Structure 1
């Protein structure tokens, strides 16, 4: 089906319906992963980074493969790097509207979150270097940069898994507890699924993930068509509209995790998803048949990567400092993230 041949109104309608499917299925994912993490003892940070982050990255995978295969390398690249910035902003918005008066990072003192964030910054820096230099070496149509980024992602998972089991330090001072309402919601959720086996939980998780993947495919195709029909361009549409729609699973799962009081899982979901987004440059490279994907990206794409490093650093600062103060009902770190995001997009639009 060629979506460009459809009217803008039809594409916008399909885009909205697909985005709703992605949102609805995403709200189910964090609940299933929270139960699975408790039953298996995997840990919230690792489960959030690997399992939940992997599932919520399915729309990005669908978008990336679809856009790359159709030759829209700019849309694929800016969606991945723009999604990194967008999803950190998601944390800030949830901090502002769900946890009124208390910073989200006050409730997330796990050292493993810092490890995930540090690994993510390193991966974004590598992606920025790849955008700046272009592809240096390729074999059988596969460039060295995407392979290096995927290897860095796999290595980071191994480091995070080992570190969460044996952290080298623990935070001191008072450890803030989730509000009673969050604990009550979580208890009610676990009681609801108490008679459901772990295998059945895994099956429900797989079904929700499939719905997210299918919705993500239609978001990608209609987003590409809307970019062409409106004349806004693949760069800005990829970094904003498509990145927002494919970030809906992260929004819904993070929202659900925070409501349950699973704050570390919420943060790990976003940081883990962002790490996987950088690794998705490898499937993008495989799907893109017009050369090396990093050679097709414009230098301005590096600006979005730099924004990703800045906003991730701001959240790591928040986790380290764990300030109790709030600005406009959100943490100081979240406020800074939203300011940087708004200013950064304004600058990017002019590039």
Structure 2
């Protein structure tokens, strides 16, 4: 592996920016493939968005968290995960701005996304409880880490059950969009598309490693705290695929895919903490982080709860043609980012 610490600051900055472009460009190609696979597999946009698109576009982020945790930077690893979830939730508000017909949460109604958002809140609150509990680790791993993985898998099973036998259905309006409204006409075979998607995951994951290592080196070189670099630097860069793919999905009318991709990606991002705990070899990572990371945990839970309320209420139009939940999400993220920067 390259020795990033020996590189000049300019070279590190160029590598960081170059990797960001790679992640944004190749990550954006995933949305179209995921939309086609959703139609061909019959799993649906919301579920495919949660699993395939969500996990695929998050690969750069998990590589960043694991590599920085293994390098002995727990604060950067955890803040990268939480900052990514906060940024991606805010991206849904930006997608709402891009969808000018009606509030995005109204048109893209899906019971699966309601269930996934609820699971995400659980995945966010559990690390807060681990932080407050007495420090304990077995083979250097906190018992909560496998619990997070189990909750994630249960959440996916729950989403599949909702897809197969829904007990709740959104009220039909003239603005409600359905998966059947978008017909796929890609001439490539499903096998070719799956291989292409896998190749994109490898490219984006490799770029994520470079982002993590250069971000860690720049943190020390410039005297910026790992928490700020993680939550507002590496987190945003590794979340660029979610922003690009969400806007692309909205523009092509795959609204449930767009929302499901963000919520599913956020669920997968919550697993970054568990993966980082395994990679961090100096004990439980939940007790190696500061209150800065705890702040992001609380902010993520709050933003997800507001998003869930927006998905339930399905307001047609709010301020500026977007929903009130989008206004609140933008305000909360901007306020949280400003507060963290002011703290240094």
Q: Report the TM-score range of the alignment, normalised by the length of the smaller protein.
A: over 0.9
Using the TM superposition, give the Cα deviation of residue 134 of structure 1 relative to its aligned residue in structure 2, in angstroms: 5.3
Match in the other structure for 1:142? 141
Q: Say whether residues 1:163 and 2:155 are aligned partners.
A: no
Q: Output the CA distance in 2 between the equivalents of 1:249 and 1:174.
A: 31
Q: Output the CA distance in 1 between the equivalents of 2:335 and 2:212.
A: 26
Match in the other structure for 1:306? 298
Q: Output the CA distance in 2 between the equivalents of 1:49 and 1:31.
A: 15
Using the TM superposition, give the Cα deviation of residue 290 of structure 1 relative to its aligned residue in structure 2, in angstroms: 1.6
May I ask how many residue pairs the two structures share in their alignment? 340
Using the TM superposition, give the Cα deviation of residue 70 of structure 1 relative to its aligned residue in structure 2, in angstroms: 0.5
Q: Say whether residues 1:315 and 2:307 are aligned partners.
A: yes
State TM-score, norm by structure 1.
0.92
Q: Output the CA distance in 2 between the equivalents of 1:324 and 1:285.
A: 42
Paired residues of 1:116 and 1:272 also in contact (CA < 8 A) = yes
Within a 5 Å distance, the mapping from 1:113-124 to structure 2 comes to 113-124=113-124
Q: Specify which of 278, 291, 295 is matched with residue 283 of structure 2.
A: 291
| Misfit runs of 4+, over 4 Å | none
Q: Output the CA distance in 2 between the equivalents of 1:282 and 1:83.
A: 15
CA distance 1:142–1:6, change in 2 (3 Å): same
Match in the other structure for 1:74? 75
Instruction: List per-residue Cα deviations over 1:20-44 (Å, max 9, x = no partner).
Output: 1111111111111111110110111
Paired residues of 2:137 and 2:283 also in contact (CA < 8 A) = no
Q: Specify which of 308, 326, 331 is matched with residue 334 of structure 1.
A: 326
Q: Output the CA distance in 2 between the equivalents of 1:106 and 1:34.
A: 20
Deviates more, 1:325-334 or 1:151-160: 325-334
Q: SS at the partner of 2:29?
A: helix
Q: Output the CA distance in 2 between the equivalents of 1:36 and 1:238.
A: 33
Match in the other structure for 1:105? 105
Query: What value does the CA root-mean-square deviation take over the aligned residues?
Result: 1.7
Q: Output the CA distance in 1 between the equivalents of 2:190 and 2:156.
A: 23
Q: Output the CA distance in 1 between the equivalents of 2:286 and 2:134.
A: 5
Q: Output the CA distance in 2 between the equivalents of 1:92 and 1:277.
A: 19
Task: Please list every run of 5 or more consecutive structure 2 residues that lacks an aligned counterpart in the other structure.
Answer: none
Task: Please list every run of 5 or more consecutive structure 1 residues that lacks an aligned counterpart in the other structure.
Answer: none
Within a 5 Å distance, the mapping from 1:84-103 to structure 2 comes to 84-96=85-97, 98-100=98-100, 102-103=102-103
Q: Output the CA distance in 1 between the equivalents of 2:333 and 2:204.
A: 26
Instruction: List per-residue Cα deviations over 1:140-180 (Å, max 9, x = no partner).
Output: 2221021111111111111111112111111224151559x
Q: Output the CA distance in 2 between the equivalents of 1:45 and 1:173.
A: 17
Q: Specify which of 241, 246, 260 is matched with residue 233 of structure 2.
A: 241
